[in-house]
Structure 1
């Protein structure tokens, strides 16, 4: 949920950097802003990376359970494993921000697309190029 509060800060930061770049201000300002923008970028992308890593582990667990299911001779354990697999397939693990926006690897691409679009808009408003 912090994602939606970070986007305006990030776009404001980019606008300030571009404006100060136009005005030829000090290089220290750029170093601080660059480090802050890297931090904000990491904050925006970290949830998507974690969710993807967890989903990959879940896929590996499902594969191992299927292999174990094929090797299992005991009927009771076979039923337990098959019910666990059915449950895992019916209730997949996913995360959504505000129950609307899925947090997966596509979120990172969408964020950078959004940011790129609005950086172009900021550049046009500031008439830098």
Structure 2
């Protein structure tokens, strides 16, 4: 597997900024939804990021995996918590999710090595 996950986290941010100039209402709405849905409430933000990561693995979204591994670490998730989340995603998504859990594990290793989620 040869995806540069820190770069995969960075690049869409740049493109979303440009798209926001062309489509300000929809992009602002999307950003607001992301902010509000991910904010700590009854569930801590860390748990929400772990849930989002599980969904990202099951739906097989590389960019989503990059974002939510990064953001889970930033929200205080530990490596064992992320790995356990991958196990639940594998249970729910079967074989394809197992392959993407490997991608997420690689992303975790890359973000940990680069300290970009701190």
TM-score range, shorter chain: under 0.3
Structure with the greater alpha carbon radius of gyration: 1
Larger relative CO (CA 8 A, sep 6+): 1 or 2? 1
What TM-score does the superposition give when structure 2 sets the normalisation length? 0.26
